[in-house]
């Protein structure tokens, strides 16, 4: 359990640091990370998506996040990026 918590804390630390990068550097990083997922097997990708779905479901159930309709999400993204 200690290893998992250390991994989570390390990931959160990395995320905080990456969010300090300028938008162009973050975009390059995201592109690189997404590209690296192309090397995963279908089973590995499915497992990652299931883990993410479970995490999001837990957040919704606990009330720590609020659901936002898809139309609203796309509207916000378009607004932020001038689309």
pLDDT score recorded for residue 5: 52
Cα 70 from Cα 20, distance rounded (Å): 28
Identify the sign of the CA torsion 6, 9, 15, 20. negative
- pLDDT value, residue 2: 53
pTM of the model: 0.51
Give the tens place of pLDDT for each residue, 17-76: 999 999 999 999 999 988 888 888 989 989 998 999 999 999 999 999 999 999 999 999
Give residues with Cβ within 8 angstroms of 29, minimum separation 6: 18, 21
- 83 pLDDT more than 90: no
């Amino acid at each position: 359990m200690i290893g998992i918590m250390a991994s989570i804390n390390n990931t959160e630390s990395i995320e905080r640091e990456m969010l300090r990068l300028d938008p162009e550097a973050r975009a390059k990083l995201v592109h690189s990370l997404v590209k690296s997922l192309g090397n995963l097997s279908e089973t590995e990708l499915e497992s990652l998506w299931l883990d993410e779905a479970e995490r999001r479901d837990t957040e919704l159930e606990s009330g720590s996040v609020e659901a936002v309709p898809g139309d609203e999400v796309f509207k916000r993204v378009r607004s932020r990026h001038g689309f």
